Amino acid sequence: MNETLQNDYSHLMNTYRPQPVELVRGEGAYVWDVTGRRFLDFVAGIAVNNLGHCHPAVVDAVRRQAETLIHVSNLYRIPVQAELAELLCDHSFAWACFFCNSGAEAVEAAVKLARRYGIRTKGEGASGIVAAKGSFHGRTMGAMTATGQERIHSGFGPLVPGFSHVPFGNAAALEEEVGEDTAAVILEPIQGESGVVTPPDGYLSRVREICDREGALLIFDEIQTGMGRTGTLFAYERFDVKPDVMVLAKGLAGGLPMGACLAGDRAASVFEPGSHASTFGGNPLVSAASCAALRATLSDGVLENCVTMGEYFMNELRRIAGETDLIAEVRGVGLMIGVELTRGGPEVVDAFRERNILVNCTAERVLRFLPPLIVTKDEVDEVTSAFKDIIGGL
């Protein structure tokens, strides 16, 4: 195996621990390194490349837009941005959108929106944000504070005041925490970074009831679960629980950096000129890419394939789990799948890579499978066959 790096990476800040692979090209579910070696990609840019690499509709939209207008700032009206906002609102609960560049930025916008809403509707002091332990919402100060993992906070204090955390899936604990000083509850419908943790039955609907009773907004962080990852365009549809605010990113623009904060009318109306801003957010290029990605997701059978392949993939993984004590649990929804091992996962990730397959490990021992939503049965079979061999060799 040739894993010799050809470039000098010493001038990059030491914020990641990348695998020894230099990627230079992608198409569909595959990527190629600098030596021409092909990998089957079941990471998909951590759920960014929902349509696979370089989807023709996205590439065409970017090419056409880049030849026309790339950036003008939000000091001016941008027709393609308005088109995207209308598309997202027409296919969700939302009334209005704010566009930015990343999921963390979208969370910051949602927290600011919620605090202004809480103070205006409930009075000064109603700025509390309740989040879940084990959650992950991003690395900026507000998003990091919302994140319910001490290891993410470590060394970056003081954190933003007014945040608290309760166990994910425990409605009684949440009910005890939410009160008159609560502006909002922020949750991932399915916790991704913590190892694809799904909520117990009825939990999200109970959270909705608590927020309604206490006058708090419900924010769903669908940065990872959104844009079809769970088989519906947004995960809240699957759980039949509508939020007041939703944040998106990752798969939103077909591989380009983009985030969005969507809200219903009562929440969105508290923002006014000067309340919030993003220089690059929703510029013509990323908006055109996002329109193309959203239309392709809705019209090309992508959601149906996600459901079919997700069920097939999980059934195959559970069949393997039934033959070994090295797998504690297979869980997930759609093509957001976690396999919890009874041992560390990095060694398994390395073994997959040696078989030309890219997978990810999170929470130390959870293999997180996030293939593109266009994945085929043959590609799933290649991964499960390799997994069976790897598990058998441990």
Which amino acids are annotated catalytic?
Answer: 136, 221, 250
Residue type, position 301, single letter: G
Q: How far is CA 46 from CA 61, 162, 224, 252, 305, in A?
A: 23, 30, 8, 13, 19
DSSP state of 251: G
| Tokens 């969105």, residue located | 268
- CA dist., res. 176 & res. 293, Å (int): 41
Tokens of 205: 């609907």
| Residues 191, 137 contacting (CB under 8 angstroms) | no
DSSP secondary structure letters along 19-42: -S--EEEEEBTEEEETT--EEEES
Burial (CB < 10 A; 0-12, 13-18, 19+), residue 176, is exposed
- Report helix, strand or coil for 6: coil
- CA dist., res. 227 & res. 250, Å (int): 8
- CA dist., res. 60 & res. 210, Å (int): 45
